[in-house]
Amino acid sequence: MVIHPQARTTPQIRAEIKAQRDRKQVDLARQYNVTPQTIRKWQTRDDLTDKSHRPHRLQTKLSEHQEMLVVELRTLLLLPLDDLLVVVREFIHPEATRSGLDRTLRR
């Protein structure tokens, strides 16, 4: 199990918190030196692992159809990224960014 570096609770402490539902959350928070919100979180959660901190949905300005078109342009024309960006801004999406285009091509 991977725990993020700033975690204040270990899996053992989380299991103890989950098992002690009869004690007040404020008392448990004082005992484990965490907030009552943290106690509430671990008491209601099904498992004792941290949730993912990665975004569930990638933010992109291009639609899926436009992304496929960009990838096809890259393979057909063999343009460098900066030149491809000029073409994309001119004909596909004027607000496209270099970093967004790079991420699209890496996927």
Please say if the pLDDT value at position 79 is more than 90.
Answer: yes
* DSSP 8-state assignment for residue 50: P
The pLDDT tens digits of the residues spanning 10-28 come to 999 999 999 998 999 999 9
pTM beyond 0.75: no
Query: What was the pLDDT predicted at 58?
Result: 66
Question: Cβ atoms within 10 A of the Cβ of 88, count?
Answer: 24
Give dist(CA 49, CA 41) in Å, integer: 12
Share of the chain above pLDDT 90, in %: 69
Greatest CA span in the chain, whole angstroms? 67
The pLDDT tens digits of the residues spanning 35-70 come to 999 999 999 999 888 888 777 776 678 888 999 999
Query: What was the pLDDT predicted at 23?
Result: 93
Phi, psi angles (nearest 5°) of residue 75: -75, -35
Average pLDDT value for the chain: 90
Query: What was the pLDDT predicted at 49?
Result: 86
Domain boundaries, the chain: 11-44, 64-106
